[in-house]
Structure 1
Amino acid sequence: MSETSGAGRGTVTPTRVVIALCLLAPFVAMLWVGSYAKVEPTFIGIPFFYWYQMAWVLISTALTMVAYVLWRRDQRARAASRNSSTQDGGASS
Structure 2
Amino acid sequence: MSEAPEVKPPVVAAVVTPVRVIIGLCLVAPFVAMLWVGSYTKVDPAFIGIPFFYWYQMLWVLISTVLTMTAYQLWRRDQRSRETAKGGAAE
Q: Same fold per TM (> 0.5)?
A: yes
What is the aligned residue count? 84
TM-score by length of 1: 0.85
- 1:1-93 → structure 2 map (5 Å cutoff): 6=12, 9-87=13-91
Which of the two has greater helix per residue? 1
Q: CA deviation at 1:86?
A: 1.0
Bigger-Rg structure (1/2): 2
- Say what the alpha-carbon RMSD is for the aligned residues: 1.8
**Counterpart AA for 1:32:** W
Structure 1 residue runs without a partner (length 5+)? 88-93
**Counterpart AA for 1:45:** G
Q: What is the percent sequence identity of the aligned residues?
A: 65
